[in-house]
């Protein structure tokens, strides 16, 4: 039986449909920018709602086309923070014929860990999955013991590609002090995490999932056509991350869009996402991060299939 998952994030609305063997039938990413302005206003933008609802109607057609009877739709940071989330949930039900599940940051992290680590060769010991979204970043401490991979603990911090861009990166290109403030914002929140959860400091291996990490990897290798799955399992060095960050952060948006591997619809917020990634790798002194093109959708579908 085919199963499906839809995740409504701050920056993009994403769909995954897999068959009974777990093979991908559809994987679609649509930048709808639902979280535009939520950090400042606390409400969802009307145009962003309309874009998202139209996307969901198209996803409903794909679910029907593949005969999907079992599916989940989840909402994360932007919907969590919005005062009008109940009204939005009603629109989701109308357009997708599914009830919206509002995930906590910890549950989002658990599902991201479940999806991101599938099929990766993980070293023994503790690892850290980082899921940089548009509005929040999930940090998940996991552990491999023998052949078993499990989550130890998870937390969510309120920094992401869209949130940091709107909060700090107002110039084009961003001024040095704006970049320092965005990175410092992330550092401060990570310090709080490490104070409250010192076990996070034990992580020896980094795994990155979601749009920022695959985009940085795509720019690093200069993909002529953006293809996240071709980057799955790639080890991205901290020096490479810093190099991509310097390149993108010092270019105007008009120049930045011409970088091979950078989707145009992510070009305006990628520097904000890079600030989060750079801050995390510096704080842990991580030599590299393993790219996972799998994400929360893969975790949801795995649970629906009962295969984990």
Cα gap 79→84, rounded to integer Å: 8
Residue 78: pLDDT band by 50, 70, 90 thresholds? confident
Cα gap 26→14, rounded to integer Å: 10
CATH number (domain holding residue 252): 3.30.420.150
Provide the domain count of the chain.
2
The verdict on residue 171 lying in a domain is yes
pLDDT digits (tens, 9 = 90+) for 210-225: 889 999 999 999 998 8
Q: What is the dihedral of CA 120, 124, 128, 131, to 10 degrees?
A: 10
The pLDDT assigned to 105 comes to 78
Q: Which two tokens stand for residue 14?
A: 């994403």
Cα gap 48→52, rounded to integer Å: 6
Domain final residue pick, 103, 132, 148: 103
Picking from 98, 86, 88, the residue whose alpha carbon sits closest to that of residue 15 is: 98
Cα gap 224→159, rounded to integer Å: 29
The verdict on residue 224 lying in a domain is yes
CA distances from 126 to 106, 147, 292 (A): 18, 13, 17
Question: Counting beta carbons within 10 angstroms of the beta carbon of residue 164, is it exposed (0 to 12), middle (13 to 18) or buried (19 or more)?
Answer: buried
Residue 186 has pLDDT above 90, yes or no: yes
Picking from 53, 9, 41, 20, the residue whose alpha carbon sits closest to that of residue 301 is: 20
The pLDDT assigned to 109 comes to 86
3-state secondary structure labels for all residues of 225-268: CCCHHHHCCCEEEHHHHHHHHHHHHCCCHHHHCCCCCCCHHHCC
**3-class DSSP state of 82:** coil
CATH number (domain holding residue 10): 3.30.420.40
The pLDDT assigned to 82 comes to 83
> Residues 204, 177: one domain?
yes
**Span 276-304, mean pLDDT?**
94
Cα gap 167→207, rounded to integer Å: 26
Cα gap 149→133, rounded to integer Å: 23
Other C-beta atoms closer than 10 Å to the C-beta of 58 total: 13
The verdict on residue 282 lying in a domain is yes
> Residues 98, 128: one domain?
no
> Residues 92, 133: one domain?
no
> Residues 181, 66: one domain?
no
Q: What is the mean pLDDT of the chain?
A: 92
The pLDDT assigned to 190 comes to 94
Picking from 133, 119, 174, the residue whose alpha carbon sits closest to that of residue 38 is: 133
Cα gap 8→15, rounded to integer Å: 9
Residue 34: pLDDT band by 50, 70, 90 thresholds? confident
Cα gap 95→85, rounded to integer Å: 15
> Residues 67, 155: one domain?
no
> Residues 256, 170: one domain?
yes
Stretch among 54-58, 83-87, 167-171, 212-216 having the lowest mean pLDDT: 83-87
CA distances from 270 to 207, 234, 274 (A): 18, 19, 6
pTM (two decimals): 0.89
pLDDT digits (tens, 9 = 90+) for 213-268: 999 999 999 998 889 889 999 999 999 999 999 999 999 999 999 999 999 989 99
Residue 308: pLDDT band by 50, 70, 90 thresholds? very low
> Residues 76, 198: one domain?
no
Share of the chain above pLDDT 70, in %: 99
**3-class DSSP state of 9:** coil
> Residues 76, 187: one domain?
no
CA distances from 84 to 45, 51, 53 (A): 10, 16, 15
Instruction: Please indicate whether residue 305 or residue 180 has the higher confidence score (pLDDT).
Output: 180
Q: Which two tokens stand for residue 178?
A: 């704006």
Range of the domain at 10: 3-103
């Amino acid at each position: 039986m085919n199963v499906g998952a839809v995740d409504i994030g701050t920056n993009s609305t994403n769909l995954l449909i897999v068959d009974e063997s777990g093979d991908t039938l559809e994987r679609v990413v649509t930048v709808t920018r639902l979280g535009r302005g939520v950090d400042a206003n606390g409400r969802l933008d009307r145009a962003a709602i309309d874009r998202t609802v139209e996307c969901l109607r198209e996803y409903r057609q794909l679910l029907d086309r593949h005969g999907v009877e079992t599916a989940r739709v989840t909402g994360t940071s932007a919907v969590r923070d919005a005062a009008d989330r109940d009204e939005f949930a009603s629109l989701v039900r109308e357009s997708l014929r599914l009830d919206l599940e509002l995930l906590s940051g910890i549950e989002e992290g658990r599902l991201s860990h479940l999806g991101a680590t599938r099929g990766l060769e993980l070293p023994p010991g503790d690892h850290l999955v980082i899921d940089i979204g548009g509005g929040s970043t999930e940090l998940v401490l996991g552990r491999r013991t023998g052949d078993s991979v499990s989550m130890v603990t998870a937390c969510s911090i309120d920094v992401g590609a869209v949130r940091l861009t709107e909060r700090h990166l107002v110039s084009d290109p961003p001024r040095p002090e704006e970049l320092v403030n965005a990175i410092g914002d992330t550092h401060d929140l990570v310090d709080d995490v490490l104070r409250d959860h010192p076990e996070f400091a034990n992580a020896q291996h980094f795994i990155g999932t979601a749009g920022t990490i695959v985009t940085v990897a795509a720019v690093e290798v200069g993909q002529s056509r953006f293809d996240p799955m071709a980057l799955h399992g790639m080890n991205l060095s901290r020096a490479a991350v810093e190099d991509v960050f310097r390149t993108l952060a010092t270019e105007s948006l008009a120049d930045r869009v011409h970088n091979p591997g950078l989707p145009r619809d992510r070009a305006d917020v990628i520097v904000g996402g890079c600030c989060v990634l750079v801050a995390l790798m510096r704080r842990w002194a991580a030599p590299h991060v393993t790219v996972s093109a799998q994400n929360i959708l893969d975790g949801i579908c795995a649970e629906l299939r009962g295969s984990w």
